[in-house]
Amino acid sequence: MKPKNRIRKKRAFMVCLLSAVLCLSSGLPSRAEAERQQKDEISEYGTYRVGERETGQVDLLTGRLCLEQTDLPGGKESPVEFVRYYVSGSTYSEDEDNPAGAGMYWTHNYCYSASVYEGDIVIQLPGELSQNWQKVYAEGWISTNAPSYTLEEQGDGYLLTGPDGETVFFHRSGLATELTGADGETVKLSYEDGKLSRADLEDGYLEFEFSGDALTAVTDSAGNRILYSHNEDENLISAFVEDGWSLQYFYDDSVTDGERLVSVTNEEGREILSAEYELISDMSVSYGQSVVYLETETQPACTFSYEHYNGIHTCTYADGSTLAVTFDQNTTQPEYYLWSWYDSQGAVMRRMQTSAQKY
């Protein structure tokens, strides 16, 4: 079962449908712009992530770098899928217990956790920011930043239900033990010493191996095996298959709020991603270091600027065209974001408004 992929495909269809409507109402964009629109993706929070999913995206609202790497099937026959996510500046840090075992800011598609307090629960989903829940008298559990989800107490734990009916059951310890997709397919999760040891799907299984808190291997029921290595801080520095593909990850540890991924190379030593960050002084400290430059092997360099006090963040593409998001900077919770695409001469090609959701 691939619960996140099913949701993502549905969102991609809605984005394409919305793009078609906008083209009819505001004029047909250039071919280059049309191709780029297909690469831009609306996240659950109504924001645009600029770039290609496989090689790196930037969340233009927060300046976070977002990666998605599919290790399994990875070109081999496999009954199941294993996907890793990197979101710079997300809620996981080296000071917290990261059940993914891949170090700061990494998660994967079976990495679900809940921190349970008296009257409060913080839930972390794969590749997403955390959800904050408070128990309100006579109303139950209410989220401050996940309006499309519901949370209820059930048996010896909590049941989280997503916008398409998918569910995650968390034991009161905070460990997720069962995932159910919108189609009813289930995944059973097992743990040893608080670490994920096995994921049982209807078509197969995955087994996870750790050294201390670091994930070192994932093996599927067909015998495919992915190996991982880490540095002294237990950050992921390589993912590889013996006598096959490999990826190496490099970080900048000079930033003020945790290491940031700045480069990825493949088995040929070719750099497939390069990123630069800056501490944007007029943004909330929760955003910290923001991406100001991103280049991948399939996407020419993009630069990013964040004028938070003026209510505008901008991505400038290699051809001189831009994408800008504007918002009301005088409130902590804007009502909406306005996204505008401009050609290299500054002419508007497309506009779209999305409802704002609080991070």
pLDDT tens track for 233-280:
778 999 999 888 999 999 987 765 567 899 999 999 999 999 999 887
Question: Region 168-184: what's the mean pLDDT?
Answer: 95
pLDDT tens track for 7-46:
343 333 333 333 332 232 333 344 444 444 444 444 444 4
Half-sphere exposure of 201 (CA within 13 A, CB side): 19
| 8 Å CB contact between 283 and 37 | no
The total number of structural domains that make up the chain:
1
Range list of β-strands (E), 53-144:
56-59, 64-72, 82-87, 106-108, 113-117, 120-124, 131-136, 140-143
**C-alpha to C-alpha distance for 152 and 207, rounded to whole angstroms:** 30
Q: pLDDT at position 259, please?
A: 79
CA 115 from centre of chain: 19
How much is the pTM? 0.82
Q: Which of 85-94, 120-129, 230-239 is predicted least confidently?
A: 85-94
Q: pLDDT at position 55, please?
A: 67
| Structural domain containing residue 263 | 3-355
Residue ranges of the alpha helices (H) in the chain? 3-26, 31-39
pLDDT tens track for 327-339:
988 877 788 889 9
